[in-house]
Amino acid sequence: MHQAIETTTIETRGQGLYEISRAARDFVSGAGITTGLLTAYVRHTSCSLLIQENADSDVQTDLKGFFARLVPEGMDWLVHTTEGPDDMPAHIKAALTQTSIGIPVTEGEPAFGTWQGLYLFEHRRRPHRREIVLHIIGEA
């Protein structure tokens, strides 16, 4: 049994989904593991991870639209407001999605379905440098 671990960095340019499926596939093939478990973990609490459809980009537009409506800026009861109006909504959106996703690996590839992509979901308005830790354990 073997394992590998690596930190990938994404430069985000505002709210939305950034696909990282390619980075995940490259990490798996670079590790030389054909069967195993891949874990993606984001080291932040105002962005998150999501598996979503990568066929029609309208899905990403609507996901962003839904979360903006569910967790709007300007909720007047918030107490954590010192880091800007988009910060506490960002933490809440992160809580509603995932910080970590485990993906089985088979035939040297993450077991994504036909229409699945792995995304970093940025919840802050300004550009951020985001670290994602990729870990894999398995056999060649």
Residues at the contact surface with a copy of itself, assessed by CB under 8 A:
1, 3, 5, 35-37, 39, 41-46, 50-53, 56, 58-59, 61-63, 65-66, 69-71, 75, 77-80, 82, 88, 91-92, 94-104, 106, 111-116, 131, 133-135, 137-139
In sequence order, the 6+-apart residues with CB closer than 8 A to the CB of 30 are: 4
**Residues paired with 100 in a beta bridge:** 41
The nearer residue to a copy of itself, 125 or 135, going by C-beta atoms, is: 135
CB of residue 14 to a copy of itself, shortest distance in Å:
19
In sequence order, the 6+-apart residues with CB closer than 8 A to the CB of 9 are: 129, 130, 131, 132
The nearer residue to a copy of itself, 5 or 29, going by C-beta atoms, is: 5
State the sign of the Cα–Cα–Cα–Cα dihedral 104, 26, 117, 94: positive
The nearer residue to a copy of itself, 13 or 55, going by C-beta atoms, is: 55
CB of residue 80 to a copy of itself, shortest distance in Å:
4
CB of residue 19 to a copy of itself, shortest distance in Å:
13
Token digits of residue 127: 């550009």
Cα radius of gyration (the chain)? 16
The nearer residue to a copy of itself, 109 or 125, going by C-beta atoms, is: 109
- Nearest Cα neighbor of 15 from 113, 133, 97 is 97
